[in-house]
Structure 1
Amino acid sequence: MYPFISDSIVLFLSGFAVAVLAIAGTGHLCRKFYRKNLSSPTYPLYDTLLVFGDSITQIGSSPGVSGFVNHLSGYYSRRMDVLNRGFSGYNTQDALRVASHVFPKTSTAPSLATKWPLHDFTFPGAPKPPQLCIIFFGANDARFAPSSQHVPLDEFAINLRKIVSLLHSPESEYYSPSTRILFITPPPIGDRMFEDVSRRNGHAADRKNEVTKLYADAVKETGKAFRIPVVDIWTAIEDAVHGTQNPDLSSQEHQDNTSKAEAGTDNPYEGYEKYLLDGLHLTPAGNELLYKLIVAKITSTWPELDPSAIQ
């Protein structure tokens, strides 16, 4: 019909058309496969409870001190995965700096054009934000200046608000309105014990209980402003040491703590040694007390997070 078109040109055009169709078909199949993997969460198997804090949290997974994070892992066994994101020496400034390594990004997954193949995805699938995030900072922020860990009190409160906004602000790439948040105050400082430990380590004590209390109060005030529940471990240990009734403890636990306080009245550390290893970190008894307070607060505030209510 078209004598001016040679057979070689016809063959070339036919082959080109077949190649285009083959590439398009393959691309369509791959696009469907990878889009399915991007939009269908495949990990984690369970919901998660994230604990974000400093060395007290990091040590909270240690069996040697009967860590509170370990207790939570057992409590939520086969119901939720408990993730320990405790960083020794960190304050709230550091927490904001490492947030990208702690909180999952909930923005839209990258397109295939920017992620091919999916070698950058450890677990292909849409991110699954934690059901509960426990935020436990303040012990290092309360350290005296000029320590690099020190954060001024007003800045500490601002940083707590920023951490909350990472999860609850619609503008945040970690936005997760379904994630519940629980604050924990820093525990008290056993002043005499901490001074002795500091002296043995060759440096001056740079923490005081009266200062740490200000930071514990700032956590409670921030919690009240954002309607975030607070576990007040500072007051709980103070009450336990001094034999004061704590409304968050059962009558039997109060009697046990009163006995412990009375038994420690002649101790140079005033009974803080029952709950603090070195005047700062928690003993097994301190971890157990914190664990009980966390569980009591979770189950009273969010009954749906009681393990018996989780399918």
Structure 2
Amino acid sequence: MAVPYPQIVLLGDSLLQRSVELENGFSFQAALQTCCIRRLDVVNRGLSGWNTANVVKHLHDILPEPTDSSPKIKYLIVLLGTNDSVLQMPATSQHVPIDEYKENLTKIITHPHVQAHRPKILLVTPPPVDQIKVTRLDMEEGHPSAIRTFAVSASYSEKAREVARKNSGVVMIDLWQAIMDKAIAMAPDDYQVGGPWLGSLENGKQGGLDQLLPDGVHMSGDAYRVLYEQVKPHIGQEWLNLPDDDKTGYLFPDWRVMNPLN
């Protein structure tokens, strides 16, 4: 019987769908696969434009129940909320009310198929929104105002934190804070401690968000590097810090084992 590789599944919207792309010479999915090569397969189930309600509706088929011959999901990385937080306007259709968003995240991580795999779940908070840039770009597309705001997006990220805290064993990856910290470090003069955050209209400055979020929403390669550094310590801890010649976790043996010197 064929031996399937255990999987890391990336479940989310365009932020994970686009993580396979090379932005600024960096691909989050490729970096993660390199880290796990011959031990785990990284499977991308990022679905551009989807919200949590869409995922809940189709989760039964997106993440099949495990069988004796199917791959086991060892890690599940969930990043959703950027589309849920789109404002409810005549020209938008993705909005999910914040309490329903919280319920949907809980439904996803507690779904019977997910629990049957018994994966380590990494729940990622949506990154900040650069409302300064989003306002300009959305209005150029014909919207009367921004379809995402800094404050509303931040409130959805806080709900993701709540879900992680209330579900035992779920690892919270605070991408919102990590991206913001990086943006501040890139332009420290644009932010005063305790003052309005970068990207908000109250602050009026973008700082490093201008580079990290090229369209105010989606991430650059530098932002994906931030995500990778947040995720990496939680993946493959049994072999993450081993010497290069230690092949613990390889599904198939190293060539030196199969072809020893006489």
| TM-score range for the pair, normalised by the shorter chain length | 0.7 to 0.9
Q: TM-score, normalised by structure 2?
A: 0.80
1:182 alignment counterpart: 122
1:209 alignment counterpart: 150
Residue 235 of structure 1 is aligned with which of 150, 156, 177? Answer: 177
1:37 alignment counterpart: none
The whole-number CA distance in structure 2 between the counterparts of 1:135 and 1:156 is: 13
Q: What are the superposed Cα offsets for residues 33-82 of structure 1, whole Å, 9 maximum, x if unpaired?
A: xxxxxxx5x252x2111000000101100013523222211221222110
2:10 alignment counterpart: 51
Q: TM-score, normalised by structure 1?
A: 0.68
| Higher deviation after alignment, 283-292 or 67-76 | 67-76
- Contact 1:52–1:86 (CA under 8 A) maintained in structure 2: yes
Deviation at 1:177, TM superposition (A): 5.0
> How many residues were matched structurally?
228
**CA 181–173 in structure 1, closer or farther in 2 if over 3 Å, else same:** closer
1:40-119 to 2 correspondence within 5 Å?
40=1, 42-44=2-4, 46-65=5-24, 66-106=26-66
The whole-number CA distance in structure 1 between the counterparts of 2:190 and 2:221 is: 17
SS in 1 for 2:73: coil
Equivalent AA in structure 1 for residue 64 of structure 2: P
- The yes-or-no answer on 1:261 pairing with 2:187 is yes
Give the gaps of 5 or more residues in structure 1: 1-39, 108-124, 167-171, 243-257
1:272 alignment counterpart: 209
The whole-number CA distance in structure 1 between the counterparts of 2:38 and 2:50 is: 31
- Contact 1:92–1:156 (CA under 8 A) maintained in structure 2: yes
1:194 alignment counterpart: 134
- Contact 1:75–1:307 (CA under 8 A) maintained in structure 2: no
Aligned-pair identity in percent equals: 27
Larger Rg: 1
Give the gaps of 5 or more residues in structure 2: 192-203, 243-247, 251-262
Q: What are the superposed Cα offsets for residues 196-250 of structure 1, whole Å, 9 maximum, x if unpaired?
A: 22122222311111111111111111111102111111111122222xxxxxxxx
1:140 alignment counterpart: 83
The whole-number CA distance in structure 1 between the counterparts of 2:160 and 2:114 is: 22
- Contact 2:23–2:220 (CA under 8 A) maintained in structure 1: no
The whole-number CA distance in structure 1 between the counterparts of 2:29 and 2:190 is: 27
SS in 1 for 2:77: strand
SS in 1 for 2:116: coil
Give the structure with the larger helix fraction.
1
Q: What are the superposed Cα offsets for residues 6-59 of structure 1, whole Å, 9 maximum, x if unpaired?
A: xxxxxxxxxxxxxxxxxxxxxxxxxxxxxxxxxx5x252x21110000001011
Residue 151 of structure 1 is aligned with which of 93, 96, 103? Answer: 96
- Contact 2:65–2:117 (CA under 8 A) maintained in structure 1: no
**CA 273–158 in structure 1, closer or farther in 2 if over 3 Å, else same:** same
- Contact 2:130–2:150 (CA under 8 A) maintained in structure 1: yes
- The yes-or-no answer on 1:310 pairing with 2:236 is no
**CA 67–264 in structure 1, closer or farther in 2 if over 3 Å, else same:** farther
